Structure 1
């Protein structure tokens, strides 16, 4: 072991952080089946989780690249360096708001770290003008033998160890 090796992370430490999924917003973490939209609750687009946000600060649950931002600002697609695709869909039937109530803070191809701020949402506006403010985070390309496990309940943004891919 060299002099500076003490400061290097071990391979197991590096790998454990690669699959880290942070809570993206303050609120209540929900099982995906609790999202009030069949496209999400029946896992048509993939497994994931729901969140009932208590504020409008939407953070990245993973580190990676911003792959796409919907023109209507209600959804954003991310991709981790390991190839995991993540769709954050804010609210239900929010596409009809045509971007009103959303301020996107990143652009396509930006690199983000887990916990970086992605979108400001006007929560009061969304509650008044959308079918639901409950949001979905979907892993759209999980391997067939993989599943998302969550520990439902009250959560804080950037909280760890509440969402896991098994």
Structure 2
């Protein structure tokens, strides 16, 4: 499933693109690392778009959780799609119902086509504005094309941006 097809149902053969292992996943912010089931939106919490994890930033800075290419930056600046060299697609959706903010509250530091390394700065969220004007400032990070037998394991709790060994594909 391509990042542009994020709202389409997964097909079994689409998940075969992802490799069995991705090394070097880092925390994308300073704050709290959460299970995907903690996201206050059924599309994400019930893994309809894929498995992943969530973050609740305490400073609004979002860095890339993986090395790869920036595949897309939504016009509304609320989401960024990445693709690793192994073909794993990662969607970072900053906040819940933030598409309605029409780009306000977000500063983006990358564009489609850019290469990034895990830990590179992607975006800055204006947390007070997002908390005031959106459903939630919790950010789901979704791996949209994992194999059916793969899942995400997270060590929840307080986390620092770029922290390693807290998120893994199993």
1:17-37, CA deviations, whole angstroms, 9 ceiling, x for partnerless residues? 952110000111000000110
SS in 2 for 1:136: strand
The structure whose Rg is larger is 1
Query: Over aligned residue pairs, what C-alpha RMSD do you find?
Result: 1.0
Rounded to whole Å, the distance in 2 between the matches of 1:61 and 1:134 is 16
Aligned residues: 150
SS in 2 for 1:125: helix
1:53-104, CA deviations, whole angstroms, 9 ceiling, x for partnerless residues? 1011100000000000100000000000000000000000000000000011
Match of 1:58 in 2: 62
Rounded to whole Å, the distance in 2 between the matches of 1:118 and 1:153 is 22
Match of 1:134 in 2: 138
Segments of structure 1 that go 5 or more residues without pairing to the other structure are: 1-16
Match of 1:90 in 2: 94
Match of 2:157 in 1: 153
Rounded to whole Å, the distance in 1 between the matches of 2:31 and 2:61 is 11
The match for 1:20 among 21, 24, 28 is 24
Aligned 1:94-105 pairs, distance under 5 A: 94-105=98-109
SS in 1 for 2:130: helix
Segments of structure 2 that go 5 or more residues without pairing to the other structure are: 1-20
The match for 1:110 among 104, 111, 114 is 114
Structure 1 residue 120: Cα displacement: 1.1
Taking structure 2 as the reference length, the TM-score comes to 0.87
Match of 1:30 in 2: 34
Taking structure 1 as the reference length, the TM-score comes to 0.89
Rounded to whole Å, the distance in 1 between the matches of 2:58 and 2:169 is 25
